[in-house]
Amino acid sequence: IIKMNCYSIRLFQDVTLSRLAEKLERATASTFFLKSSSGEEDKLLLLNQEEYNEHQSCITHCKFSNSGTLASADTAGVIKVWSSNPSPRTLATVVSSKSSVTALEWVHKHDHLLVYGLKQGNLRLYDTKERRTLFDIVPESASVLKEHSVACLACSPVEPVVVSSLHSEPPVVTTTPAPGKLLLWDLKSKQLQGHLKCSSSVNCCVFSHNGQLLLCGTSGGNICLFDVRTHECIANWPAHELEVFSVQFSGDEATCFSIGAEGILRQWNVYKTGQKVSDFPLHAGCMGPQGFRPVGKLFSLGADSEHILTCAPTSGIVYKEENGSFTNVLSVGSHKSHVVTVDWSPAVDCSTCATASADGSISIATLFSHV
């Protein structure tokens, strides 16, 4: 969340003083004053909210690049690349043969490159500037992809490497979770670089800031931590009673967060793996509508690692974490359908978050914290 000093007008050079004053006046009506456990007020301002309605199907992913550009994907195989500032504007459209986009990530250090995976197993790299596909790894040419869908992707922040998790397609019904299939791909050579072994299939994964660790949440309810340099699993612990659908490191990476299918958000000590820091049952509907299987991120941390954006039936809900407790401080986005995935911009000069819903609508909210 942005710290607002003397209105930090430099952050809003595209907005005139009169327009800024008008937005601040409107924002006052959306301000929440809540006491934290330390007795201090947490004041969040909802500065502005915009709608993006270019999708006609359920959103599977909505991701900010490091510079603040958005990429959103849906179950009809449509990907939109767009800017939210000063108002939503489409930059590129990709249609993926009507196969649902099941995984999507921006390539670090190359903000114009987007890697995505399909339900039919394809793995593609797309250049948003040139508006063309740079490569398409198909199941027919890579036997390891046959009869699998791409469940999730994670791009290394330091190397041109992407990790893909594969699920059997159609899913194999067994009494025990299927073994995980994690593949490392070199984006330059377009070649398979290696495998990571996991006891059950991986639903979500994310790299550490230096690209050495990979945090994974599995269908068996476990969290796995891999050393990417050695391809070894260095930690594996039971985290949830049901499947883990989203994981994320805290800002300092001393802890990590996870959310399970039972609707509980948990924080874990990374240095003392398996040691729980906090346990918080979320609101009803945090996993999407009844019968829905999550695909995208179900929660996202703000830049301060204290505020957490989550999904809800008609909006996103922001919580503040402090000393192991969570307080509901703000609702963002106004949707007619269930919010199914969220994201928070990593750009340091803004605090913008996205809430995306089952009917294809996306809401962009600009926040700040005034202390």
Q: How far apart are CA 258 and CA 204, in angstroms?
A: 10
Q: In terms of residue numbers, what domain contains 124? A: 6-369
DSSP tag of 276: E
Q: What is the CATH number of the domain that holds 143?
A: 2.130.10.10
Q: How far apart are CA 241 and CA 221, in angstroms?
A: 6
Instruction: Give me 118's structure tokens.
Output: 């399909």
Residue written as token pair 């709608």: 51
The stretch 137-144 carries a mean pLDDT of 73
**Could you tell me if residue 89 is inside a domain?**
yes
Q: How far apart are CA 243 and CA 235, in angstroms?
A: 18
114-118, 169-173, 222-226, 293-297 — which is least confidently predicted? 169-173
**Could you tell me if residue 108 is inside a domain?**
yes
Q: How far apart are CA 69 and CA 347, in angstroms?
A: 10
CB 11 within 8 A of CB 350: yes
Band (pLDDT 50/70/90 cuts) for residue 239 is very high
Q: Has residue 102 got a pLDDT over 50?
A: yes
**Could you tell me if residue 98 is inside a domain?**
yes
| pTM across the whole model | 0.86
Q: How far apart are CA 127 and CA 114, in angstroms?
A: 6
The stretch 254-272 carries a mean pLDDT of 96
Q: How far apart are CA 48 and CA 20, in angstroms?
A: 10
More confidently predicted of 173 and 282 = 282
Q: Has residue 253 got a pLDDT over 80?
A: yes
**Could you tell me if residue 343 is inside a domain?**
yes
CB 356 within 8 A of CB 362: yes
**Could you tell me if residue 210 is inside a domain?**
yes
**Could you tell me if residue 1 is inside a domain?**
no
Instruction: Give me 116's structure tokens.
Output: 């995505």
Residue 87's Cβ-count burial label (10 Å; 0-12, 13-18, 19+) is exposed
Give tens-digit pLDDT for 358-369. Answer: 999 999 999 877
**Percent residues over pLDDT 70 in the chain:** 83
- N residues, the chain: 371
Element (H, E) at 18: helix 17-28
**Could you tell me if residue 351 is inside a domain?**
yes
* Total of domains in the chain: 1
Q: Has residue 165 got a pLDDT over 90?
A: yes
HSE, side-chain direction, 13 A CA sphere, residue 236: 12
